[in-house]
Amino acid sequence: MLNKYARAFFTRVLTPFAAFLIRRGVSPDTVTLIGTAGVVVGALAFFPRGEFFWGTVVITLFVFSDLVDGNMARQLGRSSRWGAFLDSTLDRVADGAIFGGFALWYAGQGDNDVLCAVSIFCLASGQVVSYTKARGESIGLPVAVNGLVERAERLVVSLVAAGLAGLHAFGVPGIDVLLPVALWIVALGSLVTLVQRVVTVRREAAEADAGQPNPPSGRGALGGENAG
């Protein structure tokens, strides 16, 4: 839902800024790299210290680079496989930093092993959810399902909750409970999404294999190409 509506809205809003960067000679790859670096710094410099409000502010300023770089590529007519690969890869880095920052807080000053584990689960499940779609598509399947919680939903739910929870430091009582609630929501939503995608890939694979006499297994001695 967020990908369908919010992305279209912000794309229109950010188009003039993307055009400005193009006139200044900035490349889409540069925007991608700077945006990811900003998210990583914001997450790992602020979240482990419990400074959720300012960390969210910094991350939000840079997270829109995910829309700006694609907008620039389209305006330049330079959409490429390399750009798509770089963008997708660095998205995983940014997501890891955000949930890793939450985990470091709860492992340290936050002193909550359960929420530390939930944060780590959010990090890992988000990576696997993305992998299932990419892997399914790489073996020729459409993976015709998005699922309950995609990357946009994971980021919006967790970052909005973190930003609001950070207002506790400014004297707003009881609001810090929003972050734990959001992490549980993201964790459960990611699990549902993972199941949805696995079930879809299994069904599509069975249908594809039924029309193929000797389908390739894609499995090696150590469990496939990604065993390492």
The residues assigned a catalytic role are 91
Interhelix angle 52-63/28-46, nearest 10 degrees: 170
Helices marked H in 47-177 — which ranges? 52-63, 65-76, 81-107, 113-138, 151-165
* 69-76: Cβ within 8 A, 24+ apart: 69/28, 69/29, 69/31, 69/32, 69/35, 70/28, 71/11, 71/14, 71/15, 71/18, 72/18, 72/21, 72/22, 72/26, 72/27, 72/28, 72/31, 73/28, 75/15, 75/18, 75/19, 75/22, 76/22, 76/28
Interatomic CA distance for residues 17 and 155, integer angstroms: 23
Residue 217, number of CB atoms within 10 A of its CB: 7
Query: How far is CA 216 from each of CA 135, 139, 201, 220, rounded to the nearest angstrom?
Result: 14, 9, 15, 11
